[in-house]
C-alpha cells in the first residue's frame, strides 16, 4: 500500500465505495451480478519477459522470493518468434531470438530457484530450466509459451494463410516448445530438452486483419484464418494430449478497439477452441500522442476503458468466464505538459524521460516518484484510474488502489481473472500482485 499517495485506509475504502456508486449496475451487459467464482479459481496470468533478465536483472527466482509465484496460476513466457518461413524458431539472432536467455545461459546458485548452480553438461539451463524448477516448487503453476507480441507478429498472417501453412506452423511450434525439441547449442538443447516445461500456447498476434507494428503484414482474410489457426492448434494440442494423457491449454491476447475485434476475430467461433483470452486493458492512450490521457481506466465515457472492452467482447458472444482482464504494471508518461490544472487532457511536447524507453516506466520506479513528494497524486473516482503530475510531467498508471477496484470488478461480474504485463515491473515484494490477489479473493 502506497501510504504517501493516498494516506489512510479509510480514504481508500471511501474511494472504492464512490467508484462502485458511479459504476454501471453489477449485472449490466454481463448477465451476472454475483460472484460465481471462488477467489482461488480466478486466473492470475503474468507475463515473464525474456529480456528482463538483463537490464532489470529480474530472474525467474524473483517470482518465488517475492511471493508472486504462489499467487499466480499462469506464467506466460514472452516471446516465441515466427520466421519468414512460417515456422516457430529460436536461436541467437539479435532482435529476433535469444536462445542464450531461453535455455543456454548458466545460472549460479544464488539466482537458481532450487539453490543449485547450473553446470555445462545439463541440456537445459537459462530461463527455461528455472521455470521448470519454479513449477516443481509450485505444482499448481502452469507455464505457457506466448508467440508473437507487438514486434514478433510480423509473419503470423503468412503462417496462417492456407491449411498447409497452418498445419506446418502449428507442428513446428508444438515440436519446439511442447515436445521440447530445442536446437543444439553446445551441450544445451537437443531432442526433448524442454519436454514437459510448457503447459500450452498463448497466441499474441497483434493484430489479425488490422495494422500492428510497422513491418507486420495483415490481410482481410486474417479474420477467418485466425479462427482456422486456433482450430489447428486446438486439434494438434488435443491429439498430443490424448497420447500423453494430459491437457494442454490454448489462449490468446486480444485487442480493446471494437474495430480491431471486428476486423480480426470471429468471436463466437474462436472462443469455442480457446481456454480463455486475455483482454488488452491498457495502452488505451500512449505517450506518443500529443495530448495527455488515461491509459487504463476502468470506466471512461466516450473513450476506451476496461469496462468498454469487456462489454465489446461480451456483446459479440464471448463467455464472461473466458475473459481475463489485462492490467498494466507500468505507466505511460508525457513531459512538457502545458495548460495547468491536474495535467490530464492537456497538450504535451513528447514522451517523458524514463529508465528503459521514453514514455514507459515500471511501477517500481513510479512508486519511488510518488513517494518522493515531488509529484501530486490525482484520481478519477468515476473512471477508476490514477495519475501523477508535477506541473510539467504526467504519468498515468495503475497503483494498488486501482488494481483492487479492477479485481473487484472481475470478481463481481463473473469474469475469468486478471492478467499482468509485466511481472518484472512490480516491486521486489510483489505489491501489485498482492493487491490483485486480495481483490480477487474479496479481501
Active-site residue set: 206
Residues 6 or more apart from 248 whose CB is under 8 A from it?
Answer: 178, 199, 200, 201, 237, 238, 240, 241
Residues 6+ apart with CB under 8 A from 242: none
Spatial neighbors of 219 by CB under 8 A, at least 6 apart, are: 157, 161, 209, 225
Based on its alpha-carbon atoms, the radius of gyration of the chain, rounded to whole angstroms, reads 21
Give the residue among 295, 425, 287, 283 at the shortest CA–CA distance from 358: 287
- How far is residue 180's CA from residue 273's CA, in Å, rounded to a whole number? 23
- Give the integer Cα–Cα distance in Å for 176 and 166: 15
What are the Cα distances from residue 222, in Å, to 43, 58, 158, 165, 225?
Answer: 29, 36, 9, 13, 5
Give the dihedral sign, CA 235/241/242/244.
positive
**Residue linked to cell 471494437:** 258
- Run of H or E residues at 396: strand 394-397
Amino acid at each position: 500500500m502506497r501510504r504517501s499517495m493516498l494516506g489512510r485506509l479509510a480514504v481508500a475504502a471511501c474511494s472504492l465505495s464512490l467508484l462502485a456508486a458511479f459504476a454501471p449496475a453489477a449485472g449490466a451487459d454481463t448477465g451476472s451480478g454475483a460472484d460465481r467464482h471462488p477467489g482461488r479459481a480466478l486466473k492470475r496470468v503474468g507475463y515473464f519477459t525474456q529480456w528482463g533478465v538483463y537490464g532489470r536483472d529480474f530472474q525467474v527466482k524473483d517470482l518465488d522470493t517475492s511471493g508472486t509465484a504462489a499467487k499466480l496460476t499462469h506464467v506466460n513466457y514472452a516471446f516465441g518468434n515466427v520466421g519468414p518461413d512460417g515456422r516457430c524458431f529460436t536461436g541467437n539472432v539479435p532482435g529476433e531470438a535469444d536462445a542464450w536467455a531461453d535455455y543456454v545461459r548458466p545460472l549460479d546458485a544464488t539466482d537458481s530457484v532450487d539453490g543449485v548452480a547450473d553446470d555445462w553438461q545439463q541440456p537445459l539451463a537459462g530461463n527455461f530450466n528455472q521455470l521448470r524448477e519454479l513449477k516443481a516448487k509450485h505444482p499448481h503453476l502452469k507455464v505457457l509459451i506466448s508467440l508473437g507480441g507487438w514486434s514478433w507478429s510480423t509473419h503470423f498472417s503468412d503462417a496462417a494463410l492456407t491449411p498447409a501453412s497452418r498445419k506446418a506452423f502449428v507442428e513446428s511450434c508444438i515440436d519446439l516448445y511442447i515436445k521440447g525439441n530445442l536446437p543444439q547449442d553446445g551441450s544445451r538443447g537437443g531432442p526433448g530438452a524442454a519436454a514437459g516445461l510448457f503447459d500450452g500456447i498463448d497466441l499474441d498476434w497483434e493484430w489479425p486483419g488490422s495494422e500492428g507494428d510497422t513491418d507486420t503484414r495483415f490481410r482481410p482474410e486474417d479474420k477467418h484464418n485466425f479462427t482456422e489457426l486456433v482450430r489447428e492448434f486446438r486439434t494438434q494440442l488435443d491429439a498430443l494430449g490424448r497420447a500423453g494423457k494430459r491437457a494442454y491449454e490454448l489462449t490468446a491476447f486480444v485487442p480493446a478497439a471494437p474495430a480491431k475485434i471486428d476486423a480480426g476475430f470471429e468471436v463466437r467461433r474462436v472462443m469455442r477452441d480457446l481456454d480463455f483470452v486475455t483482454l488488452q486493458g491498457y495502452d488505451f492512450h500512449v505517450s506518443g500522442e500529443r495530448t495527455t490521457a488515461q491509459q487504463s481506466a476502468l470506466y471512461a465515457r466516450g473513450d476506451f476503458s476496461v469496462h468498454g472492452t469487456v462489454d465489446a467482447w461480451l456483446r459479440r458472444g464471448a463467455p464472461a468466464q473466458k475473459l481475463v482482464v489485462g492490467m498494466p504494471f507500468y505507466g505511460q508518461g508525457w513531459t512538457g505538459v502545458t495548460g495547468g490544472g491536474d495535467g490530464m487532457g492537456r497538450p504535451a511536447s513528447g514522451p517523458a524521460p524514463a529508465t528503459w524507453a521514453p514514455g514507459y516506466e515500471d511501477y517500481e520506479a513510479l512508486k519511488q516518484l510518488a513517494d518522493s513528494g515531488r509529484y501530486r497524486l490525482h484520481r478519477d473516482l468515476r473512471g477508476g484510474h490514477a495519475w501523477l503530475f508535477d506541473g510539467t510531467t504526467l504519468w498515468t498508471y495503475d497503483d494498488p488502489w486501482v488494481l483492487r477496484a479492477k479485481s473487484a470488478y472481475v470478481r463481481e461480474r463473473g469474469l475469468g481473472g486478471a492478467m499482468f504485463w509485466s511481472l518484472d515491473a512490480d516491486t521486489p515484494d510483489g505489491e501489485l500482485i498482492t493487491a490483485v490477489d486480495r481483490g480477487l479473493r474479496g479481501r
